[in-house]
Structure formats: structure tokens, C-alpha cells
Structure 1
Amino acid sequence: MFSGLPQDYSSITVTNDGWWPDTDVADFQSQRSIPASIKTETVASALLMAIGEANAELAAYQSAQRAKGFSSAKDVTGPSAGGVNQLCAQYLKIIFARAKAELMGEITSAEREKANPGQQSEDTRDRLLAEASFAIRNIMGHPRVTVDLI
């Protein structure tokens, strides 16, 4: 039940590969409404898994950007707000969506007594993974949908 008290999130940095941005566990928890009752280690592990998957999928893009002379994602030119450029914002969207999808079972357990079926559905997990896929495609310069002749 809502207590009116702020959530006590864990401010732990998940260090990335030096090119993509590092991530703060507390930012993820607050932006994606992750219950503070889920262990910090579990949340950090989900973020690490999401980072690993995203970095593998974006390896060719990263290599191409390095070849253009960009030493990190934050150096890539483009729109920005609050000190974060579009590329880094999209990357964080990818890992936050994938990490939340990974944590859906934990969230269901933590929220079971609140009976929030929207949080618990497989459909929510699928939407999160689709959100991440769309962002990956956008970074790589692909449209959301493509059609090929067979």
C-alpha cells in the first residue's frame, strides 16, 4: 500500500565498457518503478545481463562510431537534454526495458499482495522486449518494420 514515504533506492553504479554509459541502479529503480524491496544484487544482475546483451547487439555500431573518431557514446553528436544525448538515452532505454523484463518474476513476487495484474502479465514483458528491440533498430538506423521478398 502507498505509504507516502519515498522509496529507499540503492545508489550503486554498474560500470560499462567505457564507450557506453555507466548506469545507476537507483536511476533504473525510480525510472522503471522497480520496487525497493527487490534485492539490490538482483537488480544489478539484471542490469548487467541487459548491458551484455545490448553491447553484443550494438558491437558493429560501436566499432563504426569509433572508426569515425567518437571515443564514447556521449561524444556522438545529436540532440541532447540535461547533459544526456539521444544515443545514450536510447541505450539506457534498451537496458532499462530489458532489465525490467528480466525482473518481471521478481516484481510479481514483490507486488503479489497488491494484485496488480498489469505488472504481472506476460504481455508486459513482451512489450518491454519490443521497446528494447525498437530502440536497437533505431540506433542501428533501421526502421521499426522491414519487409523482404522471399
Structure 2
Amino acid sequence: MAAGKQHQSNRSLYSARNLWSGFLFGLGMVAFFDETVFHQLLRWHHFYDRSTTDIGLISDGLFHAFSWFATIGGLFMFADLRRRQGLWLKRWWGGVLLGGGIFQLYDGIIQHKLMRIHQIRYVENVVVYDIIWNVSALAMIAVGAFLLYKTGKRK
């Protein structure tokens, strides 16, 4: 089989793996960005703010570990896809944006509003932060879903 046809065949064979590799990587990277920027650098909140600062720092550490396990898992799958010549970058990026967006939307709605384990920032007009957080999550989900739709049409 010619190299181009083999590559196209591998794309179809590893379509789901491209999606999940990107999804894990995107989820992990957005979680890592959240933890690094908002928890550590800006010190706006901890992962769990309903207890002492020590518990908040421990929860941040566990959250940080989770984000890196997801990121590294996604990268191991990415490397395996490259090795098998089954990498489909447009589909992978769709998974990255979908995973990152879903994590961010889950964080913004479930953790911030329903569970109330922390807020984005403890200010009087937090709704501005909530809108920016959740609209950017929806934008990532929309672009990711569009890329996945475009790559799902090929056989």
C-alpha cells in the first residue's frame, strides 16, 4: 500500500485515539494553566477554599498532580499515534479544545457555582469573571466540536 493511503487508513483506524489523546492533553493543560496562574501566581483561590490554607495548598498539590497525569497520558498517546503513523492533527486539536473547554466549563459551573468549593476570584462583582470564564469555555468547546465534526465526515 502506498504511504499516503497507509497514512489515511491509519487515520481512520486511530480516529478515536486521536480524539482521546487530544482530550486528555487539553483537559490537563487547561487544569495546569488554571492551577499555575490562578492558584499559584495570582493567588486568587485554592482548589478547595472551604477549610484552612494548609488544606487549600494540599488540594492544589493534588489538583496539580491530576493535571499532569492527564497531560502526560495524552502525550504518551500522541507519541504512540506518531509511531504508528496514525496522528491526525486536526482531529487531535479538536480533542484538545473539547477537553480543555469541557474541563473549564465543569470548573466554572459545577465547582464554582454548584459545589462552591472555590470561586474564580473573591470580589464583589464576580459575575464578570464567571462570564469570561464560561464563555471562553463554550468557545473552546464550539471550535473543538467543529474540528471533530469536520474530521468525522471522512471515511
TM range (shorter): 0.3 to 0.5
Structure holding more helix per residue: 2
Structure holding more strand per residue: 1
Larger Rg: 2
Higher relative contact order (CA 8 A, sep 6+): 2
TM-score normalised over the length of structure 2:
0.40
